[in-house]
Amino acid sequence: MLTGFQLISLVVIFAATIAGGYYPLTHRDRITTHGGLPLAEAFTCGVFLALALTMMLPPSLDILQNAYPGMDFPLGAAIAAAAFLTLLAMEHQIDHLRNASGASPDVGYPPLIPVSMTVLIAIPSFFLGTALGISDTDAAVLIFIAIMLHKSSAAFALTLQMVRSTMTKGQSWVTFLLFACATPLGIIVGQAVHDWVGSSTMVTVKGVVLGLAAGTFLFIATLHDLKHAPMITRCTNRKGFVLMLAGFVLTLFVRILMGEAHAEG
């Protein structure tokens, strides 16, 4: 049974996610024909870069090192690199198929990339919800704040990719709504089944998922869309660079909150 705080968190997080993705999904023509929202993309680059390097990768390294103390190998970093290279290989393959077909880059790319990124980002979002669901109230409040500070940005960035692909309006909304449900579902599952699974197993799974998320976020911030990578095309002017730094600093603050939450939880 969800507590009052968990129920409120579930509703507010879902609403914040919808708010973050609403504009791109309802202004598809402006996004696809007017160059998108470059300053907003620059900001989300900073968010994703900090998520990868300060929030996701370090805990993954620590968790897996503690889970396997005899292993003298940075397993979390290897998992992050595997996710990064897998997405890069997929991007190269899609670019090759596009060139072979003679399609213009402006037409849109296949939905495989935005769908794959949505899945990989939804999984750690689910486990953040699970962490909130199994934590005591003090730690849960900090986790809730941390989720709120980046959830809308993540939703915004994902829906930008959806509307630039060949996904239909209906497909984009369905995919986005499934992503929006990831954290609320995690809260429900965390509260309902945390006693069913051994704590050591949950810790290991969390370490693996954080490593996958780190590689995913790093890829989105740097190499996604290859020749048109946002970190290169959107952050070359002063405003774009400053907004990228703002996203990075904001997420560093989130990392501080998450660190305190883990310590108290």
**Res 2 pLDDT > 90:** no
**Res 177 pLDDT > 90:** yes
pLDDT tens digits, residue range 205-243?
778 877 887 887 787 777 765 555 555 555 566 777 787
Mean pLDDT, range 18-37, rounded to an integer: 72
| Buried residues in 125-138 as b, exposed as e (16+ CB within 10 A) | bbbbbbbbbbbeee
**Res 181 pLDDT > 90:** yes
Any idea which of 35-39, 46-50, 53-57, 241-245 has the lowest mean pLDDT? 35-39
Distance between first and last Cα of the chain = 20
Mean pLDDT, range 151-175, rounded to an integer: 83
Q: Write the secondary structure of 47-106 as one string of H (helix), E (strand) and C (coil).
A: HHHHHHHHHHHHHHHHHHHHHCCCCCCCHHHHHHHHHHHHHHHHHHHHHHHHHHHCCCCC
pLDDT at position 265, please?
42
pLDDT at position 261, please?
46
249 or 184, which is more confident:
184
Q: Is 165 helix (H, G, I), strand (E, B) or coil?
A: strand
pLDDT at position 15, please?
93
Any idea which of 34-48, 120-134, 142-156 has the lowest mean pLDDT? 34-48
Q: At 253, is the pLDDT very low, low, confident or very high (cuts 50, 70, 90)?
A: confident
Q: Return the number of other C-beta atoms located less than 10 Å from residue 70's C-beta.
A: 4
Name the residue among 16, 63, 50 with its Cα closest to residue 231: 50
pLDDT tens digits, residue range 119-129?
767 877 887 78
pTM of the model: 0.64
pLDDT at position 35, please?
52
**Res 155 pLDDT > 80:** yes
Q: Is 177 helix (H, G, I), strand (E, B) or coil?
A: helix
Write down the residue that tokens 């990719």 correspond to.
161
Q: CA 139 to CA 131: how far, in whole Å?
A: 9
Q: Return the number of other C-beta atoms located less than 10 Å from residue 227's C-beta.
A: 8
143 or 126, which is more confident:
126
Which residues have a Cβ under 8 Å from the Cβ of 198 and sit 6 or more positions away?
Answer: none
Asked whether the beta carbons of 228 and 235 are under 8 A apart, the reply is: no
Tokens of 123: 């999984």
